[in-house]
Structure 1
Amino acid sequence: MANIVKLLFILFLSFFISTSSRIITPSSSSSSSSSSSPSSVLSNLTYIPGPIQSNGKNYTRVCDPERFADMGLNMKDFAYCDKSLPYSVRIKDLIGRMTVKEKILNLGDRAPGSGRVGLQNYNWWTEALHGISDVGHATYFGDIINSATVFPTPILTVSTFDPALWRQIGHTVSIEGRAMYNLGHAGLTVWSPNINIVRDPRWGRALETPGEDPLAVSVYAVNYVRGLQDVEGFEVVKDPNTRPLSLSACCKHYTAYDVDQWYHEMYNRKEFDARTMERDMVETFNRPFESCVREGDGSSIMCSYNKINGVPVCANPRLMSQTFRGEWDLHGYIVSDCDSVQVMTENHKWLHDSPVDAIAQSLSAGLDLDCGCCGESDNYFQNFGESAIQQGRIREKDLDNALTNLYTVLMRVGFFDGNPLFDKLGLNDICSKEHIELSAKAAREGIVLLKNNDNNVLPLDTSKFKKIALIGPLANATEPMRGNYAGVPCKYITPIDGFNASNVQVDYQQGCADVGCQNISDLNSVLESVKNADATVLFFGNDLSIEREEFDRDGLKLPGEQEKLITKAAEAAKGPVILVLMSGGGLDVSFAEKHPKIGAILWAGYPGEQGGHAIADIVFGKYNPGGRLPLTWYHDDYVKQLPMTSLQLRPNKEFGYPGRTYRFFDGPVVYPFGHGLSYTQYKYTVKPKLSSINVGLEKHHKCKDLSLKSNANVISECPSALIDDLKCEETISFSVEVANVGKMDGDHTVMVYSKPPEFVDDAPIKQLIGFQKVFVPAGKKKVVKFDINACKALTLVEKTAYKVLAEGQHTIVIGFGDDAVSFPFEVVFKK
């Protein structure tokens, strides 16, 4: 009997090893390429996303003596595995052992390595936008790992306006990512986050982003990247190129990228030329990427598909190497969005370049790694790199420089040496109770209360509202809650699940077959349900069939007959009516805002795997909503006034285009940026320490002119000064007393804006300069202190793209609307 048990155990162990080391090919199926093509080398390789494998054994690092012995090599003969040597010396030794062909092949995202010198293959593409995703060649769900925690999509997470939470989510994702790597299911380099500014409300990828405000997006980028990358005790080191990383993060897509596929495919991202002004580049589009590199120490940047003013981004040295490495001091590598090099020749047809030309242009611009999207033969560097060398279009030194940037990151992330802090992470560190609760917490804190009538429809008291009608195709949502670039969730909690767990009786009627809602499937059942319910909760909005990558919207209204169904259900309902919206971008729901029977509206974004739990907690008052919109919600008429292809943010008087985002649009909106109600009320009292600052100028300091309004009567010897010429040590210091004058404890975000002097022309109406989240018990007060660098807070970008500080009276505004308070702040230059 003992021998049988032993035999069964051996068979089980063999099966476990074989499944956990499953071979992953780019398309999860094998396809061969022509033997005369360099890609034939790739098609014969196995691509293993996780631990290093040799002769059926798993290793968590390349430089393991046993692994080298299994390969018939002596690790002591390879200096690149000598941990006593600096990274730079080790990498030089490694690259020096490689042939030109090997170097070229390892500049593709599915890098084959070189068994001849002990270098294992590596898959660079893992995604971690809001949890480890099932997108990417390096990631695999199945056998021993079936799921990972799915957090809300970034657009909802950022509406918490809680940087500590953003960093905590990033750290949690890094823990799960390292555990999946150890088990053979993910890589160590994640191509996240997406930090593009949402310039136009039709953009299909708004759900992936942190919104429309450059400061909020920048702060999110820094904290999420720090959460993904930072190793405790090594947040700052003398040589950043040696700083160990938990995972390597990548900020994307650089830059001015926010047109995917609009107007019936007439405009698409692989052909789009973003005609931008340098002013907008400095003021808006590039700002989050600069923060990602300079403050977040992001170890990778991804260049986008589009052209900018006629030049493909991935072939523009001024935008790439001169900016990333020259100005911002990037410690990492630059990767193309997948197929971007190929797009240069086949879509942009830029300069009528051949594939060899495109490789030369992009390498010269500073590109280090070429991502080929979906097939085994679509990587330009790997397929045409040898020809580029043979034709003398690139130097071997170009290859060496790119590989140095790549292998430095792999050294830092532990691919070669491992990291004892992470090497023991495993299944218990994925989908843990704490991680799942963090996902629910992010959803609860992010959900925004858009409307709550004077009679305070929400929260519902379960002792009074026992029977709840749940209406709409999203009331039983699973897939729509996770959004895109998501993994396989640990466990879905649908809205129905959340309400069923709240001790109420649920009657669910779908109403429409899907969110497209081309017809109302059973109106009579819906009307019967709402007439017999104590309260009605309507679940409508968008999903990935409406907005996603490669799919922009034409308008902002709810799809199909959703508005009709919502209206009929609301009018027939016996009790209170609550509308819950799921979407990434804004929606024109002005009909619901004005409808007297719809007492409350919640925006739940795409709330992740615990979305149903979070929504129910808010509806029944277990949590007091405190989320704020990171996007302006426009009326549908807004998008009819200007094309999506207009990149200019300021109003264009010549064409009659309105401005974009809250900084430049002053017309009517459905809900403004920063809007968010609570079940309680807050009052501000502001106490500034100073109402002015004297900024010292050097004796020979050259002042800059300002754009002034035509009726301005300003006489100043120095209207403005260049930010780069100032020490910028002055601060705007003040405290805000936040009083909760309602009856319920709550989280509250204090948002601070600056307004430029009134005489300045063509400046932002206002701009966010700081925010803090604070918990205030009912009937209590909390004091929030702000010390904001004056240069950063009051910077204006002139027409010539210079960043300047204007002399004169600025205004600091806390909050907005009727509850806002403000104080003047004077800037005086002194020589």
Structure 2
Amino acid sequence: MKQHTFVTPVATAVKKGLALTLFPVALMLTGCSQSQAPANQAEQSVQQQQADYLNTALPLKDRVKALVDSMTLEEKIAQMYNDAPAIERLGVPAYDYWNEALHGVARAGEATVFPQAIGMAAMWDREFLNDIATVISDEGRAKHHAFKAQGISYRYAGLTYWSPNINIFRDPRWGRGQETYGEDPYLTGELGVAFINGLQGDDDTYLKTAATAKHFAVHNGPEITRHSDNYVVSDKDLYETYLPAFEKAVVDADVEAVMCAYNRVNGMPACGSDMLLKDILRAEYGFDGHVMSDCGAIADFYDRKAHASTRSPAAAAAWAVNSGTDLNCGVGTLSSFANLSFAVQKGFIDESLIDQAVTRLFMTRFKLGMFDPDTSVPYASIPLDSVGSQEHLSMTQQASEKSLVLLKNNGVLPLKPGVKVAVIGPNGDNQDVLLGNYNGLPVNPVTVLDGIENAVGPENVTYAPGSALIADIYGHWQTLDSDVIFHRDEQGQLQPGAQVSYFAVERSKMTDFSHPHFPATMTGSAAATETLSELTIRNMHSPVSGNMLEDYGMVVKAEVVPRESGSYLFDGKGTITLNGKAVEGAVALEAGQSYSLEIQHIFATDPVSNTADNLLREWQLRWVNQSTSLLADAKKAAQNADVIVMAVGISPRIEGEEMPVKLDGFDYGDRSSIALPAEQQALIKAMHKLGKPVVLVNFSGSAMALNWEQDNVDAIVQAFYPGEATGTALARVLWGEVSPSGRLPVTFYRNLEGFAKFDDYDMTNRTYRYFEGEVLYPFGYGLSYTDMQYSALQAPSSLTAGDDLSLSVTLKNAGNYDAEQVTQLYVRMPDAPVRTPNVSLKGFTRSALKSGQEVTVKLSVPADELVYIDNDGKKVPYQGRLEVFVGDGQPGFAKGDKITETIVVVK
């Protein structure tokens, strides 16, 4: 019986004019006799429970219970939004659960940016991925405590990270596949565990940060229909492909949180699926953390354009909580869980289920040490200067080097010292492809052009973009700097740089309820001024007040003097005018002529989404000259080069999450073709015709059909999106300072012929485990500069079902380069009574060998991996002939001394 709740909810309700609805509910839930308790008695009860929840000597469950018991129904419901408000009377600070750390702390200012998740998967390195996640959580902790010291609780300031994404990249068309660890459940599960452990730390008492496994479950495109799609999946595919990584995340890594998906699964919204959330996640896996919705997923329950599974927002909220969704991320649609008060009033849901959800949520916050003194929390002392430290930047360079996959080499690589290089391609000087999506601001971004110039000297390098990425989407935007922007001094003479004035900002009441926001306007006279040599601002402090993330306005005034005539596109936030006319679309400019430029922009917090504009991204003004003859410039740049390094592919501006991009081959973030855009194909062929060696570097978060390129260019490197040290890492690989060692975490297909519809979730003919056709580059593939040889596979001739399988193999570096090698172990189960994968990855490890060195590599396959999934989705220990393959890739692709094999009879 909750002795303290009878006066407070009523008092709160009366204050808000809600007594008629809440008063009878309070009486019904708590009993009439307690409603007459004296106010001082209630206050004493609250004070006692406040003392209890802050008492670190008490068990954690008791502390959380004391806090939750002291809350009113209204207060508890408000804590179930991602941006939970403060409860001032209890001393509970506001907190926003939404934060991202996919490959570095994201959207919270500068942070070390590691390769995108698909690139980190290409490392095939559990231990190093764990080290990376440890660095990410170091930086996250440091940032959180810096924000906390300023009283900041905006989105992206917390310690609950909505990472990793462990969905299976089952179809190369999915734009968000870049966020995953690839197409294989075993690889994804192992890497997911390593990443989660690095985020959550190893302290016996406190979580370092809280990781989130997402999106549960059966979620991997299409993006444009994810809010309305119903994915029908068999029990066999569910347990064989879509769930294993989540099971490992929960059982092996004890992940603190799980995010449920937008889509329906077998007819039920994922965030309202008893099968997924109750039967599998809680009952089978024993998950005891909290579950959150993907953002807006609860509104999809009742949205007529989405699932339309119910007509009532209150019913949708009750449905989700009853199934086990504890937290509502409601950005855009705002919070559906706000309807829970009505749902309780009408009997849709019992308050005990709300208590359960809030208890789970606060258990996470308590585990993070948020209600303990910082002196008791070991992670609270990580210094802010660890963010982007030299040690961390060195690690992201190593990660980039390990992630690069050599797909072809006819001997042109490594390049010789002294060669003159033409860097050609729309991704040659494109910072976007370093970063992928869900990224932070890089501390020291190095593009391909930067890296190669640093390696061989700018005098030995020429550059031209050669083409757009596709249509009017460019990779060679340039930030306006003091080469082209000027201001007039007191004598009226042009001086380099732009003058910027900063103003205070005034907010007004909301008047446009169709797009909820609070208008902001600049006010008064300039509070501060400066001259910028480059139109880029990374300022997390207001130049007006000096306070972190406080609103301010900016007015930039400059004279722009283009060096080339042409039709220019501008890219930057704010109102942009040239000679007093608003810039809309392309603008014709003459070389050498001066144009008066003015930009007005407000860096404003958004109370609706609980975000701060200058926390999410830097401000830049960039431009591109559309009139340039890109192909002619590329031919000219390549004329005197000894070798052409082509940086091509796509970018996170055209593949990603639910994007407004509808172009040939691209479909709202997904892809309808896996070929390179036509512009780039034409560019590659034109460079090939010059008769010079061509090294192709492909940037993409997904597989590309590089068929003509495989047959015609001299070398191909798959880069994915390799992080802020891309250029340095690539140069080291191209010139042989590092031997390439990355391996593909996805299959590269020749085309999409024979593929099922994108929204067909049957695994037939998908991924290396089930695909029956010819592929361009297989899963697990990658070349080296050295000659790695396998021999002397040692394995038992027989094994008892239920026992682990231990093997060893001799690995020799018979080449001339020191290198790292990924050893892969696959099995085939020909005697299973049901369909099983063609082959399945069941082990891998990475070894560093010097030239001429020979080592013994030991591998172990746990008994719970030596099972097959029957047609009912049950794990069955395998018995019969087990075909085992160990080496440098899959059987059928790795040949000769690159692979060894044996048969183990499992009895």
Deviation of 1:546 (Å): 2.5
* Residue from 160, 181, 196 that aligns with 2:123: 160
2:700 counterpart of 1:577: no
* Residue from 78, 95, 98 that aligns with 2:68: 95
Match for residue 701 of structure 1? none
Deviation of 1:37 (Å): 11
Identical residues among aligned pairs (%): 34
Distance in 2 (CA, whole Å) between partners of 1:666 and 1:114 is 58
Distance in 2 (CA, whole Å) between partners of 1:791 and 1:292 is 15
For the 8 Å contact 1:444–1:625, the answer to whether it is kept is yes
Distance in 2 (CA, whole Å) between partners of 1:76 and 1:380 is 30
* Residue from 873, 880, 885 that aligns with 1:813: 885
For the 8 Å contact 1:360–1:388, the answer to whether it is kept is yes
2:206 counterpart of 1:244: yes
Distance in 1 (CA, whole Å) between partners of 2:690 and 2:50 is 81
2:757 counterpart of 1:643: yes
Deviations 1:466-513 (A, max 9, x none): x10000110102122101000111111111111111124110011113
2:699 counterpart of 1:592: no
Question: Which amino acid in 2 is paired with 1:826?
Answer: V
For the 8 Å contact 1:531–1:573, the answer to whether it is kept is no
For the 8 Å contact 2:469–2:679, the answer to whether it is kept is no
Using the size of structure 2 for normalisation, the TM-score is 0.73
Match for residue 653 of structure 1? none
- Counting only pairs closer than 5 Å after superposition, residues 414-429 of structure 1 correspond to structure 2 as 414-417=369-372, 418=374, 419-429=376-386
Question: Which amino acid in 2 is paired with 1:148?
Answer: A
- Counting only pairs closer than 5 Å after superposition, residues 488-503 of structure 1 correspond to structure 2 as 488-503=441-456
Distance in 1 (CA, whole Å) between partners of 2:270 and 2:133 is 28
Distance in 1 (CA, whole Å) between partners of 2:18 and 2:183 is 45
Deviations 1:775-797 (A, max 9, x none): 111111111011222441x3111
Distance in 2 (CA, whole Å) between partners of 1:538 and 1:457 is 14
Whichever structure has more strand as a proportion of its residues is: 2
Match for residue 337 of structure 2? 381
Match for residue 436 of structure 2? 483
Question: Which amino acid in 2 is paired with 1:647?
Answer: Y
Deviations 1:288-329 (A, max 9, x none): 111001001100000000001111011111210222221112
Deviation of 1:119 (Å): 1.1
Match for residue 97 of structure 2? 124
SS for the counterpart of 1:809 is: strand
Match for residue 256 of structure 1? 218
Question: Which amino acid in 2 is paired with 1:485?
Answer: Y
Question: Which amino acid in 1 is paired with 2:811?
Answer: V
* Residue from 849, 852, 876 that aligns with 1:776: 849
Give the ranges of 4+ consecutive aligned residues of structure 1 lying more than 4 Å apart after TM superposition. 35-38, 73-77, 515-520, 758-761
2:672 counterpart of 1:554: yes
Deviation of 1:74 (Å): 7.5
Distance in 1 (CA, whole Å) between partners of 2:63 and 2:70 is 11
Match for residue 665 of structure 1? 771
Match for residue 65 of structure 1? none
Match for residue 193 of structure 1? 164
Distance in 2 (CA, whole Å) between partners of 1:452 and 1:760 is 42
Deviations 1:538-562 (A, max 9, x none): 0000112321011110010002311
For the 8 Å contact 2:261–2:270, the answer to whether it is kept is yes
Distance in 2 (CA, whole Å) between partners of 1:426 and 1:732 is 45
* Residue from 494, 507, 525 that aligns with 2:462: 507
SS for the counterpart of 2:295 is: coil
For the 8 Å contact 1:474–1:515, the answer to whether it is kept is no
SS for the counterpart of 1:636 is: coil
Question: Which amino acid in 2 is paired with 1:644?
Answer: F
Q: Which runs of no fewer than 5 residues in structure 1 stay unpaired?
A: 1-34, 39-72, 135-139, 142-146, 235-242, 651-658, 696-727
Match for residue 181 of structure 1? 144
Match for residue 55 of structure 2? 82
- Counting only pairs closer than 5 Å after superposition, residues 57-68 of structure 1 correspond to structure 2 as none
2:337 counterpart of 1:366: no
Question: Which amino acid in 1 is paired with 2:787?
Answer: Q
Question: Which amino acid in 2 is paired with 1:503?
Answer: V
Going from structure 1 to structure 2, the CA distance change for 1:96 and 1:223 (only over 3 Å counts) comes to: same
Distance in 2 (CA, whole Å) between partners of 1:771 and 1:590 is 29
For the 8 Å contact 2:843–2:860, the answer to whether it is kept is no
Match for residue 519 of structure 2? none
Deviation of 1:353 (Å): 3.3
Distance in 2 (CA, whole Å) between partners of 1:751 and 1:363 is 43
Going from structure 1 to structure 2, the CA distance change for 1:386 and 1:516 (only over 3 Å counts) comes to: same
Distance in 2 (CA, whole Å) between partners of 1:36 and 1:749 is 66
For the 8 Å contact 1:513–1:521, the answer to whether it is kept is no
* Residue from 869, 872, 875 that aligns with 1:803: 875
Question: Which amino acid in 1 is paired with 2:337?
Answer: F
Match for residue 631 of structure 2? 523
For the 8 Å contact 1:123–1:187, the answer to whether it is kept is yes
Deviation of 1:118 (Å): 1.3
Question: Which amino acid in 2 is paired with 1:317?
Answer: D
2:904 counterpart of 1:825: yes
SS for the counterpart of 1:381 is: helix
For the 8 Å contact 2:793–2:900, the answer to whether it is kept is no
Deviation of 1:577 (Å): 1.1
Match for residue 282 of structure 1? 239
Distance in 2 (CA, whole Å) between partners of 1:351 and 1:227 is 39
Going from structure 1 to structure 2, the CA distance change for 1:36 and 1:276 (only over 3 Å counts) comes to: farther
Deviation of 1:77 (Å): 5.5
Deviation of 1:349 (Å): 4.1
Match for residue 461 of structure 1? 416
Question: Which amino acid in 2 is paired with 1:611?
Answer: T
Deviation of 1:812 (Å): 0.2
2:768 counterpart of 1:681: no
Match for residue 539 of structure 2? none
Match for residue 496 of structure 2? none
For the 8 Å contact 2:470–2:679, the answer to whether it is kept is no
Deviation of 1:392 (Å): 1.1
- Counting only pairs closer than 5 Å after superposition, residues 188-227 of structure 1 correspond to structure 2 as 188-227=159-198
Question: Which amino acid in 1 is paired with 2:335?
Answer: N
Distance in 1 (CA, whole Å) between partners of 2:782 and 2:755 is 27
Going from structure 1 to structure 2, the CA distance change for 1:348 and 1:76 (only over 3 Å counts) comes to: closer
Deviation of 1:735 (Å): 0.8
Distance in 1 (CA, whole Å) between partners of 2:864 and 2:79 is 44
Going from structure 1 to structure 2, the CA distance change for 1:75 and 1:580 (only over 3 Å counts) comes to: farther
Deviation of 1:759 (Å): 7.0
Distance in 1 (CA, whole Å) between partners of 2:145 and 2:115 is 25
* Residue from 247, 250, 254 that aligns with 1:297: 254
Question: Which amino acid in 2 is paired with 1:357?
Answer: A
* Residue from 291, 304, 325 that aligns with 1:334: 291
Going from structure 1 to structure 2, the CA distance change for 1:778 and 1:399 (only over 3 Å counts) comes to: same
Going from structure 1 to structure 2, the CA distance change for 1:231 and 1:501 (only over 3 Å counts) comes to: same
Deviation of 1:517 (Å): 7.0
* Residue from 69, 85, 89 that aligns with 1:112: 85
Aligned residue pairs total 683
